[in-house]
Structure 1
Amino acid sequence: MNNQQLKWVYLVVLSLIWGSSFILMKKALIGLTPLQVGALRILITSFFLVLIGYNSLKKIKKKHWPYVFYSALLGTFFPAFLFAFAITKIDSSIASILNSLTPFNTFMVGALVFGFVFRKQQLIGILIGLVGTIILIAKGADMNPNQNYWFALLPITSSIGYAFNVNIIKKYLQDLEPLAITTGNFVLIFIPTLFVLTYTGFFSAFEFTSETKPALFYITILSIFGTGLAKVMFNKLIHMSSPVFSTSVTYLIPIVAVMWGIYDGEKLSFLQLLAGSVILLGVYLANRKK
């Protein structure tokens, strides 16, 4: 299988894994706090990656480490906590749709920070996507008055972090293998995350109950597959394709996440589904080649 075919395989597999991540976070939050979900997700993944990728750390040169650190913060550390907090206040399916803004932000960051050139069509696509986002949030707030849709800003902020992460990897870490980047990411944020988990009282007050046991199971599955293996695959996808193509996985993630959300009893109106489609249309226009 050549790279052209393999990148599509990666795209589909990643959409299935990450599309299921939102419902796993939601289930884990039944027995754990948002800080604990974010911290455990990083720590469990760190142990897993050190086991399979310790030797790859030798390939990281001194010039790479600053960019590996920026990648770790923007692509893993902050989003892990932001999404956990967001899902406590808004539906997991909505969070996944907002995550589809990542290609927009990848383009914007690439143009404004990394010097890519705007095309009129891309600007139109961005504006269409923003209209869809506003409709999605406004209708969600109307349908679910008990949910705080200010928390919708958290997935949007995460998508900006992802955008920086992709451009950093593509520009500064292209010569470093994906496993080394991913393992390096988690090694660097292990200690700060351990402090966060300690701050939550996890080590002093945690008890195994009917709620915390399944929560630990869900967060372990999420960590190994949704973070560890998926991050390695995603970094590989960035290497073999463009930043915009690699982030287009977020077009497909909402399809899987919305199906899980509906199965779990979440409500979506026709207008919200239409708004989600508008976002995807905008993303498509922004990234379509001439």
Structure 2
Amino acid sequence: MVLKDTQKTNYERDGFLIYGSILSALELENLQQSIDALASGEHCNSDKIGIRLEAAVKKGELQEVQQRDKVWQILDPHLHEDLIFKHANNPKILDIVSELIGTEDIKLFHTQALMKPAFHGSVVSWHQDSAYWTSISPPALVSCWTALDDATEENGCVQMLSGSYKKGIWDHDRRDFLHAQGVDTSKATPVILEAGGCSFHHSLTVHGSSENRTPHRRRGLVTSYMRSDSQWLGDKKNKPDFPLVRGQEYANCV
């Protein structure tokens, strides 16, 4: 058992756990460099990755900003960078995920890098991950959010709504992205982390983050996991090949 009883109790109560340090200094540096190379176009696989740009870029702004700092999100970077896939398989992370998810049989669902650049990093609206991930049942995935820079309230750290996961899928308003309705932001908990630290959250936990107007970047690397006996509810022809990261697979499951 890796987690203390109080940590597991807090996760069951809140739907998230602020864990702390998970990376060595070398692991942190290597991941920072890999993410920056992918975002800047300098990585050998940069042309293969899916990225979303900051909203200001779409409005024709930030033309003087370097490419790296125009990127808002990198989608599934583990598919194109071995160091990130290795991070997703970090035994220290998987030990914790297995305790939170309730099984040793785990598949990797998804990875993403959230860049939150200095001076113009934009808001991530209040949402639940499972409001997006509707093809997976049950909606009980666990994500590890690893800080690649210090994450503070000033530079837009993630904020979690305690206990919100117990209410199922909330109503969401769809604009460019989903927006959870009825959020009392006064009850949100800021997830303040030092670079190399991490937090864990349930896929039904309502969370979001504010803009970054500081001179300090706030990169985060998210690895999301599901039980390997989860069901795929989408079109079977379009089911991705989810990698098994621990334990065993099950027939007719994800």
Q: Give the strand-richer structure, 1 or 2.
A: 2
TM-score, normalising length: structure 2: 0.24
Structure number with greater CO (CA < 8 Å, separation at least 6) is 1
Q: Give the helix-richer structure, 1 or 2.
A: 1
TM-score, normalising length: structure 1: 0.22
Higher CA-based Rg? 1
